[in-house]
Amino acid sequence: MIKEMNYPMMHQVDNGGAPDENCTHDCSSCGVDCPSREGGIQKAKLNEHSSVKKVIGVVSGKGGVGKSMVTALSALAATRNGFRTGVMDADITGPSIPKMFGVHSKAMGSEFGILPEVTPTEISLMSINLLTENETDPVIWRGPVIAGVVEQFWTDVCWGDLDVLFIDMPPGTGDVPLTVFQSLPIDGIIVVTSPQDLVSMIVAKAVNMARMMNIPVLGLVENMSYIKCPDCGRKIEMFGPSQAEAVAVANGIKLLEQLPIDPVLSQEADMGKIEFNQGTQMESILEVLEDLGLKAE
Ligand code: ADP
């Protein structure tokens, strides 16, 4: 039977044996001696009716640099090239994936779990916006609750068979992204920055955080890198010559792509039509997928 899902109807994630069903996964504020404590946070279990070959986290040092845009464009490039693709919107306090894809319906549930929304090009999506009563309801939960919801997106959502799941990660290097990093089996991350952030320590912080957790950094994307003059097509670097290549080399990572500020992209995202974009942005992801051992059907 398929029924409509609301966040309060979701049950607690199977936490691998923690004794208390109200476990917040915040061991620092809990004295209970439980299996979750041993070796830190346990990895969440994937929904038993799903198989996901590779999980790629898309991260940024802060919000607003285009992390969701790069997630969406990567998913589009993957699905167009024959990979069974999903997007988990783990940016719980600033979810923008459903809006970009024009998805406004509520998620439905079945006996196998919560069903992701499937877009016309067959990308499976899950976001908190598909579970809250109104899209405009703010999420005002504390970190451990947010991290718990992301775990539920892994455990309770029936993703089906996916080649790759892109996770639009919570921004920054704080408590929530850290817990998500630790609790989901992420195969690698893509770091998204804007040109201004490249000159700061933000990229190095995100890269170091991943390395400290033994998560490979699959590449760097410089978003809003330049604009193209609509008359002559000349590339204008508004923030001076790009430092992306130098920063990638300094951090020992690959520069995957430099994306321009493209008014068509932002219009399509605002109108919920990103899926119909005809560009080739983020096709660099195909090499990443190949390096991870994935082959399109
Ligand atoms: P984040 O996920 O990092 O918070 P978003 O992906 O939501 O950032 O992007 C922030 C805003 O910038 C959105 O309105 C988005 O449509 C727009 N945007 C992102 N990248 C581009 C781009 N390359 N060209 C034009 N607009 C962009």
Q: pLDDT of 68-118, one tens digit each?
A: 999 999 999 999 999 999 999 999 888 999 999 999 989 999 999 999 999
Nearest CA to ligand 1 atom 27: 266
User: Of 41-45, 200-204, 236-240, 263-267, where does the model show the most confidence?
Assistant: 263-267
The band of 212, judged by pLDDT with boundaries at 50, 70 and 90, is confident
Alpha carbon distance 260, 136 (integer Å) = 30
Residues 6+ apart with CB under 8 A from 286: 77, 78, 81
Q: Which 8-state DSSP code applies to residue 117? A: E
Evaluate: CB of 72 within 6 angstroms of ligand 1.
no
Alpha carbon distance 180, 265 (integer Å) = 28
Tens-place pLDDT, residues 27-48: 555 545 555 544 456 789 999 9
pLDDT at 227: 96
Does residue 191 sit in helix, strand or coil? strand
Which residue of 69, 197, 226 sits with most ligand 1 atoms within 8 Å of its CB, as the best mutation to test the pocket?
Answer: 69
Contact call for residues 74 and 100 (beta carbons, < 8 A): no
Q: The whole model's pTM is what?
A: 0.87
Alpha carbon distance 215, 225 (integer Å) = 26
Higher per-residue pLDDT: 154 or 175: 154
CB atoms within 10 A of CB 15: 22
Topology of domain 44-291 in CATH is Rossmann fold (3.40.50)
Higher per-residue pLDDT: 22 or 185: 185
Does residue 187 sit in helix, strand or coil? coil
> What's the gap in Å between 119 CA and the centre of ligand 1?
20
Evaluate: CB of 96 within 6 angstroms of ligand 1.
yes
Q: Give Rg (Cα) of the chain.
A: 19
Query: Tokens 């609301």 identify what position?
Result: 6
In degrees rounded to 5, what are phi and psi of residue 206? -65, -40
Residue type, 255: L
Evaluate: CB of 63 within 6 angstroms of ligand 1.
yes
Q: Which two tokens stand for residue 252?
A: 């020992």
The atom number, within ligand 1, closest to the CA of 261 reads: 24
Evaluate: CB of 6 within 6 angstroms of ligand 1.
no
Nearest CA to ligand 1 atom 10: 64
Q: Which 8-state DSSP code applies to residue 252? A: T
> What's the gap in Å between 224 CA and the centre of ligand 1?
8
Evaluate: CB of 155 within 6 angstroms of ligand 1.
no
Question: 165-187 b/e with 16+ CB inside 10 Å = b?
Answer: bbbbbbbbbebbbbbbbbbbebb
Contact call for residues 102 and 272 (beta carbons, < 8 A): yes
The band of 20, judged by pLDDT with boundaries at 50, 70 and 90, is low
Does residue 286 sit in helix, strand or coil? helix
Evaluate: CB of 67 within 6 angstroms of ligand 1.
yes
Evaluate: CB of 225 within 6 angstroms of ligand 1.
no
Chain centroid offset of residue 17 CA: 27
Alpha carbon distance 177, 229 (integer Å) = 37
